[in-house]
Amino acid sequence: MEKIVPIDIDESCVELVKRFHTLDRQVQDMIFGAPGYDHSVLEALEVERANVSNLAMFHLGAAFRQCGYFDEPNDEG
């Protein structure tokens, strides 16, 4: 049976994930909503969404490493 390890996820990371969902919804609404959207606005939203996603993944990765979830295997024989 696997050991359960608590993960301390920073509140700022939670806010980043919420921001990502908001941006994702806005992008989807523009693409699948009414025609005539401004392509530069869509491009800016997509860039911001990618940046927020990368930052959130960085924070989550740090949280997982901090609790030992991503420990590197020991190469010693």
pLDDT tens-digit readout, 10-27? 788 788 889 889 999 998
Contact criterion met (CB below 8 Å) for 5 and 69:
yes
Per-residue pLDDT, 71: 65
- What is the domain partition of the chain in residue ranges? 20-26+37-67
Per-residue pLDDT, 77: 46
Give, in degrees to the nearest 5, the angle at Cα 71 between 69 and 75.
150
- The model's confidence at residue 2, banded by pLDDT at 50, 70 and 90, is low
- The model's confidence at residue 47, banded by pLDDT at 50, 70 and 90, is very high
